[in-house]
Amino acid sequence: MFKRETWRNFDFWLFGAVIFLTIFGIVMIRSAIAGNIELANHMNRQITFALIGMGVMIVVTLIDYRFLRSFSKLMYIVTILFLGVILVAGKTSFGAQRWLEVGLVNIQPAEIAKIVLILVLADYFAKQYNKQKNLKWMAVSFAIVAGIVVLILLQPNLSTSILLLVIWFSMLWISGLPPKYILYMAIIGVVLGISAFPFLEPYQQQRITTFLFPDPNARYGNTYNIEQALITIGSGGLLGQGYGHGTQVQLRFLKVRTTDFIFSAMAEEFGFVGTVLVVALLAFVIIRCLRAARSTNDQYGAMIAYGFSTLIFFQTMVNIGVNLKLIPVTGQTLPFISYGGSSLLSLMLGIALIESVLIHQKK
């Protein structure tokens, strides 16, 4: 049994913020369905995954996160196997093969891969913390990431691959990346990004080209979706049109409104003030995760918290950036709010790991 003193380190503010965002997300999904029969089960499924996620949070929080360290390599291998199975027997949707059908539920292993990669990288960087930071140190860590990223790229899933690379770089930097390597990596990244364009899937190329050269007369596709998202955000004004009364959402002009563009739906119903409050709450979650990283005396636990902070920050910024037409369309969801059972479970699992880091500190 845990002593009462142990729970004094539990971050109730972080837990409460996550639960509030999750409930708010369910409420927004209910409105964004807008009577569409095909999306009718989305809210019930999200509630189911939310309840499962809460149970996972409690169980994982009680487990000492150091216990998972000895299984990180096994989890890494299992994740690679799952991603391999996806390429052979996965369910294809929107031109990508990313889901496994388990009974009546579709599972996206790439979401779990995010957490597994953070655990494996945290273990590696913690062990190498006091050793020389050289090219070999960087190369080994990159090889760990590449083992998962390559399989995700083959699905194809470019946005998640970029997210994993961003997590790797942030943890590399926190671990003491020499400044001289940052410029080299930036140059290599730009060159590789430009060189990789011809090898992207047609729909991925189209997303980039339509972002750079939009067609104002388009009545479907990415250009249409983005334009409708901007109209939806603008129609919300300062205080919004009210819950369930957004014309763009309820008349279904806004597409993909339960996932990629749920931020726009939120802006129309709750206005500028409402979106600022939600974004502020997401920022609060990120700050509490960073606080957990700074407060722990264990390098492994700190790296877990830093890695997960990066995950939430990047997904939030990318999703909002897409809705505001600042970056090309991607498949990144708004953390805890967008529809997606696998995404919600992985996020709650990450929060549970951070809570475990907090309550299992050694004096």
pLDDT in tens, 246-297: 889 888 888 888 988 999 999 999 999 999 999 999 999 999 999 999 988 8
Q: Which residues contact 227 (CB under 8 A, 6 or more apart)?
A: 214, 216, 218
Q: What average pLDDT does range 321-334 have in this prediction?
A: 88
pLDDT of residue 5: 61
CA distance 141 to 144: 5
For 222-257, the pLDDT digits (tens) are 678 888 999 999 999 999 999 989 889 888 888 888
Whether 101 has a pLDDT exceeding 70, the answer reads: no
Distance CA 343, CA 332 (A): 10
Question: Cβ contacts of residue 35 below 8 Å, gap of 6+?
Answer: 250
Q: pTM for the full model?
A: 0.89
Q: pLDDT (tens digit, 9 = 90+) per residue, 66-86? A: 988 888 889 999 989 888 887
